[in-house]
Structure 1
Amino acid sequence: MSNFTTQDLLQHPGFRKWVLEQDETEAVFWETWLGSHPGQEGELLEAKEILLALHNAQMPPSGAEEETWTRIEDSIESAAGREDGAKVVQMPRASNRRWMGYAAAVAVLVAAVSFWLFNREEYVHYQTSRLEVRTIVLPDGSEVRLNGNSSLSLKAGWGKGKERTVLLGGEAFFNIKQQPGAEPFIVLTNDMAVRVLGTSFNVNTRRGQTQVVLSNGKVQLELKNKTSAPITMQAGDMIAYSSMKDSLVNKQVNPENYCSWRTKVLHFTDAPIRDVVRALHENTSVIIEPEDAGLGDQTFTGSIPLDDIGIFFKTISRTFNVQIEETEKNVYRISRQN
């Protein structure tokens, strides 16, 4: 995905929600984005500082005023577009913190107005709540099924003779429409770039890694921090890679077990209960706490409707002689029967 400027970030609703509301989902998205664009940390920190200055009507603690003011002035000059002959209004550098707060507000206002005047490119951002599953039809006819608590971002005007690139945070199932002669479709995550021309696959960026499961067709994976040739996946392949841990897992699986969330049902085959519990938490607001650590090593096979996890509780209760107690709303404890 193309880079964001400071002004792009100031106008991005998801970025503002992260900075001003400390939204956890947006935090995951922007951490993923920064991991794919490490060279833009300066722009991100600058935009964050400007937003907070406007929101709080004051600048950072004493001693940081001069440095902050210099960065804000640079931002104004860039946004105003010197090449177009626009003049920048120079505000006096008052030492009083209140006046510095007003200056910061003016800086944001000038940057925002300049953004619209010079018609900078915008970005389209999709976000789902924890229990929401949403289908997005992209301009090229490709479909993205976005799982709960996930985000997808793409450039406005995307796909019109340009590289079809999207940025994913969370989990999504992609059904890519084949377009002869079109640019490749690329999914960027914190760990890799998934490159494809036409196929169906699931991408999950949770648990500190990126997991790709291919339903049909072929895709190529370009792993971050790896100089080796791209990995070509075949139908039924599952590859999980963490650039932070430098760990790579590759095995054959039943793809339906990894994308059944699209119908709000989770399928498991000989899955450790710890993985089942984690998947339920990722797809719902439920927290399940096994008292016995050994229970997490036991395996579970079956289907769990996301709107009726009682089925899971009944199955493990009979199979492993355990009892389930709701300790508080949506929090359950599993313990051995005496």
Structure 2
Amino acid sequence: MPPVITEELFQRYLAGQATPAEAEAVAAWLAEPANQQLAQPWMHQHWEALAAAPTRVPLAAEEPDYDALLNSLHLKLGFGEPAPVAAPVWRRWAAAAALAGTAAVGGWLLTQRTPAAQEVATAYGEVHTIKLPDGSEATLNGHSTLRYAAGWVASKPREVWLDGEGYFSVKHQPNNQRFVVHTRAGFAVEVLGTKFTVYRRRDQARVVLLSGKVRVDFDDQQRPDVILKPGELLETRDAQPQAPVHKAVRTAPYAAWKDAKLVLEETSIAELATRLQDTYGVEVVVNSPALAERRMTGTVPVSDLEVLLQALQETFHLKATREAGRIVLSELPGPAHPAPARAN
């Protein structure tokens, strides 16, 4: 019986670690068009891993050798010699998917053709501020990555590519040089001089403007750009990309993390659990539906996870238990008295 094609087997196949029988089964599976949509995100994950490895990125004055790049892709995928024009459909698709995966990494490899790239990544629970080539600053929340060129020229936009969550303080340039934050959420954020946050995790993305002016430019050219004013939010979800939320908000809850604070405003415990998982990389379990729906308002420190959990327990009348690599949130006996919001 041929093996079941799983993501784990597919990744071993790409890494050249599959047995001959497994490799044959994967090749046959890829030949079926119905399976290619499932395999595409697996291919993207493979390319994200390859993109994270040290590579030589062509300088701006150089033209990438696309034939050599494609041949290199074939070799990395275990295809041996460069595939001829009449290659089987699964090979042609896999090479195309690999190239598409490269472009999907925010255009960070082939399509942007940037000078030598810089990449900064934060660990879970880490906050780090980066001085960009023009003197602007980017602050990354935990489990986030920022890529940008080592040097910027005045005749081209200043561009960065963000995964996760970042706060930007952008310097205005005398020549009104554009500053663009690219995301994988189907839009880019363009500014001149301003302060704002960009968030992209799970199936959700948002931009919150603290000061200045930004334009959200959707990849879908049929959708009009959105201009944000200070104190406004734009939020999208992958499940409903055509229905973004654009509204006025209080900005403190969205930017307080850079100052080691967690600001909650009618925030549900379920949403808090998601924030903790994304920022600290630990599973958070809420032990009852009623507790998951409970909402909290207040400000607690986030200098480290233990301090945060202690503050949550004392402020919001709940219990946080560490067990087997996860955190369990549960109700404490007695009535809960929501704490008043503290000054930020």
Give the TM interval when normalised to the shorter protein. 0.5 to 0.7
Verify the 8 A CA contact 2:126 2:141 in the aligned structure 1.
yes
> Which region of structure 1 is more displaced relative to structure 2, 154-163 or 296-305?
154-163
1:272 alignment partner in structure 2: 268
Structure 1 vs Structure 2 CA RMSD: 3.3
Q: Distance in 1 between matches of 2:223 and 2:48?
A: 41
In the alignment, does 2:198 pair up with 1:203? yes
Partner deviation per Cα, 1:136-168 (whole Å, 9 max, x = no partner): 111111111111111111123324432111111
Q: Distance in 2 between matches of 1:226 and 1:313?
A: 47
Partner deviation per Cα, 1:297-321 (whole Å, 9 max, x = no partner): 21111122222121112333x3xxx
Percent same amino acid among aligned pairs?
28
Match of 2:141 among 144, 147, 150: 147
Runs (5+) with no aligned partner, structure 1: 1-17, 28-41, 54-58, 60-64, 75-118
> Which region of structure 1 is more displaced relative to structure 2, 127-136 or 240-249?
240-249
Match of 2:130 among 129, 136, 142: 136
In the alignment, does 2:340 pair up with 1:328? no
Match of 2:292 among 296, 302, 327: 296
In the alignment, does 2:162 pair up with 1:168? yes
SS of 2:124's partner is coil
In the alignment, does 2:85 pair up with 1:122? no
1:231 alignment partner in structure 2: 226
Question: TM-score, normalised to structure 2's length?
Answer: 0.62
> Structure 1 residue 226: deviation in Å?
5.2
Q: Distance in 1 between matches of 2:73 and 2:311?
A: 45
Higher helix proportion (structure 1 or 2): 1
Verify the 8 A CA contact 1:224 1:243 in the aligned structure 2.
no
Q: Distance in 1 between matches of 2:289 and 2:139?
A: 34
Q: Residues 333 and 140 of structure 1: is their aligned pair in 2 closer, same or farther, counting only changes over 3 Å?
A: same
Residue 81 of structure 2 aligns with an amino acid whose one-letter code is W
> Structure 1 residue 204: deviation in Å?
0.5
Q: Distance in 2 between matches of 1:180 and 1:303?
A: 39
Verify the 8 A CA contact 2:167 2:197 in the aligned structure 1.
yes
Residue 160 of structure 2 aligns with an amino acid whose one-letter code is V
In the alignment, does 2:187 pair up with 1:192? yes
Runs (5+) with no aligned partner, structure 2: 1-44, 54-66, 86-112, 335-344
2:7 alignment partner in structure 1: none
Partner deviation per Cα, 1:17-72 (whole Å, 9 max, x = no partner): x759969x969xxxxxxxxxxxxxx9999766644x6xxxxx4xxxxx4xx4214x
1:103 alignment partner in structure 2: none
Residue 249 of structure 1 aligns with an amino acid whose one-letter code is V
Q: Distance in 2 between matches of 1:149 and 1:195?
A: 23
Aligned residue pairs, count: 244
Match of 1:70 among 67, 82, 87: 82
